[in-house]
Structure 1
Amino acid sequence: MLADSLVLGAAAEGARLNSGDIIFQLLVFLVLLALLKKYAWGPLMGIMKQREEHIAGEIDAAENSRLEAKKLLEEQRSLLKEARAEAQSLMENARKQGDVQREEIVVAARSEAERIKEAAKLEIDQEKEKAVAAIREQVASLSVLIASKVIEKELTAEDQDKLISQYIQEAGEER
């Protein structure tokens, strides 16, 4: 029962509002609110604003870095493509130059072979002419020798054949 009487007493006091206390509490609340705004809410909002600006700056920097990286990647791809094209061009030029050199070597080899062949033919002709001249000389000397023998004595056809065979054999041995 004691608890019931306390509750009834508090309710009776609450029913009566003291306007001085309300104004005082309202005034203290407003002062506390002003102090919180000045010393807590203002710096807290400033820190939040700085943090927001810092994050926005980081996002912008990241975006700029991403764009720059993309640009550099495209440049690298372009340079790589150019390098591949240049390498292909160099290989094609080298292949063409190799074909040209091969043709030049083949032409030079054929020309050299033809020159050697002509030189060999010329040498063969010269040797042939020397041999023919040597044979003519031998035939001439044999003819003179046979003529002198024939003049020395008159020969029969059989003696003449023997004499010619003998001189040809002697001429063959002299060589």
Structure 2
Amino acid sequence: MEFVWESTVFTIIAFLVLLWLLSKYAFGPLMGIMEQRRQLVQDQIKTAEESRLQASQHLEEQKQALQQARKEAYEIIEQSKVTSNKQADDIMQSAKAEATRLKNEAVSDIEIEKNKAIAALRSQVGGMSVMIASKIIEKQIDEKSQAELVDQYLKEVESK
């Protein structure tokens, strides 16, 4: 085999032209696309990380808001309990005062009615005493008849 230098030079030139054409039309755009793809992936990773951080912050905010809402609800419940206890005490005091007032009025009414009944009874007893005395004077009767007459008038008083 013999060495042909023209063929070697021609092969080297063809190789360099092919390399130049490939780098201009194939490797350049391919590397540009690869760089764009790499940049896109990095941007997506960065966006995903930011979204994860924002989601984590929102989750923390939601937890704090929920905890605050629970605290406020507990305070409202406690305040409601205190208010209801106070209202119950006020109602009980009012009911006791009303019961005492009604009781005092009833006692007063009973006392007035008792006094009226006593006055009426005195009036009737006085009238009957006069009637008994006049009957006794009209009829001079013995003690037995007088006791029967008194019993009869007492029965009349009781029936009225």
Gaps of 5+ in 1: 1-9
**Percent of counterpart pairs with the same letter?**
44
Match of 1:96 in 2: 82
Match of 1:39 in 2: 25
Within 2, Cα distance between the matches of 1:104 and 1:68?
Answer: 53
Matched ranges for 1:122-141 at <5 A: 122-141=108-127
Matched ranges for 1:1-175 at <5 A: 10=1, 13=2, 17-149=3-135, 161=147, 163-173=149-159, 175=160
Match of 1:7 in 2: none
- For normalisation by structure 1, the TM-score amounts to 0.77
User: Which letter does structure 2 place at the counterpart of 1:53?
Assistant: Q
1:41-95 Cα shifts (integer Å, max 9, x gaps): 1011000011011111111111121111111111211121122112212221222
Within 2, Cα distance between the matches of 1:170 and 1:22?
Answer: 166
Could you tell which deviates more after superposition, 161-170 or 97-106?
Answer: 161-170
Structure having the higher Rg = 1
Kindly state the Cα deviation for residue 154 of structure 1 after the two structures are TM-superposed: 6.8
Gaps of 5+ in 2: none
Within 2, Cα distance between the matches of 1:39 and 1:109?
Answer: 102
Within 2, Cα distance between the matches of 1:49 and 1:152?
Answer: 150
Paired residues, what number?
A: 160
1:12-44 Cα shifts (integer Å, max 9, x gaps): x2xxx3333332222222111111111111011
Within 2, Cα distance between the matches of 1:169 and 1:26?
Answer: 160
Within 2, Cα distance between the matches of 1:121 and 1:80?
Answer: 60
Within 2, Cα distance between the matches of 1:48 and 1:92?
Answer: 65
1:70-122 Cα shifts (integer Å, max 9, x gaps): 11111211121122112212221222222122212222222222122112211
Within 1, Cα distance between the matches of 2:26 and 2:148?
Answer: 155
